[in-house]
Amino acid sequence: MSLPLWFQVTALVVLSAVLIADLFLIVWRPHLPSTKESALWVSFYVALALGFAAVMFAVAGEQAGAEFIAGWVTEYSLSIDNLFVFVLIMASFSVPRKYQQEILMIGILLAIVFRGIFILLGAALIASFSWIFYVFGAFLLVIGIQQFFSGREDDAERENALLVFLRKRLDMTDEFQGLKFRVTVEGKKLWTPLIVILVAIGTADVVFAVDSIPAIYGITESPFIVFTANVFALMGLRQLYFLLGHLIDTLAYLHWGIAFILTFIGVKLVLHALHENELPFINGGEHVAWAPDIGTWESLIVIVLAMAVSVAASLWKLRRQRISATTPGS
């Protein structure tokens, strides 16, 4: 699979321009987006990602296009869990909705930076150590199994513990002062809650980068595809927050769908490592013949089905709860 240099440079320039334009719109016209506006923006970014996939198919071939779609769907799924933590942080500090757009945009830019760093590290490790797929696979298996048994309560406890820790150790005002980090009150310099929120969001971004980058490297080994899939997954996250943020916590089985995806990719990575094995203490350094190498299209089908089933089951449960709540004598 060969990706032309001109295509990679053009794509990165266009993505940078879109991100700058999005940031400019927030600064130029700060406002609380309506449900209709948020839905239109989410649709625009999804269409943009699918359009990019079509160009990828035309320019670089079926393999590159399939890897991008599978990677984008995977990262979009994991970003929804990231969104849940953003909702939790905003609620913990009762962030005024008029400031949430700017804070979310900063959080998303931080996420892109952290994921870019981990993408480069992952690429360097893969280039230097073929056995790293064993490590990535085992890591995702552990994370996936933990998520099956822990759920979002553990995410909430981790974030709340961080917020309580920071609150105790920083002299801080109770109210926001616009987007200022430091203010002077009665001659004393104090932090505003904004600094704690950004530290919490940045920490969450690092945690999710550690989870998501090994996952997408289980689908493609191209750093360019890994990066663009992550950027496209994150670009519509702010609008998705205003569209579905209040519903994220009601999708009871979504967390299980994400846990299944992480576990599946962990198994895929381990099987790939066995298929390409070079470790002398495993099968004498030869590849393991019985270990199948799961293809990109098969991975995409499994990932899409996992998300579809978990969302459908969550919506079914939510509908049943609403029917029970409105039924007399229930």
- Asked whether the predicted pLDDT for residue 330 surpasses 60, the reply is no
CA-wise closest residue to 81 among 130, 144, 28 = 144
CA-wise closest residue to 109 among 33, 180, 198, 194 = 198
- Asked whether the predicted pLDDT for residue 155 surpasses 60, the reply is no
Residue type, 255: H
Residue 224: band (very low, low, confident or very high) from pLDDT cuts 50, 70, 90: very high
Q: What is the pLDDT of residues 53-100, one digit of tens each?
A: 999 999 988 999 999 999 999 888 887 777 777 777 777 777 777 778
Q: What is the pLDDT of residues 15-67, one digit of tens each?
A: 999 888 888 877 777 677 787 888 888 899 999 999 999 999 999 889 999 99
Give the percent of the chain with pLDDT over 90.
14
Q: Identify the residue whose tokens are 């799961």.
A: 294
Residue 250: band (very low, low, confident or very high) from pLDDT cuts 50, 70, 90: low
Mean pLDDT of the chain: 81
pTM more than 0.85: no
CA distances from 204 to 2, 89, 228 (A): 34, 10, 20
Higher pLDDT, 88 or 330: 88
Tokens of 47: 């269409």
- Asked whether the predicted pLDDT for residue 329 surpasses 80, the reply is no
Low-confidence winner among 157-161, 242-246, 281-285, 323-327 (lowest mean pLDDT): 157-161
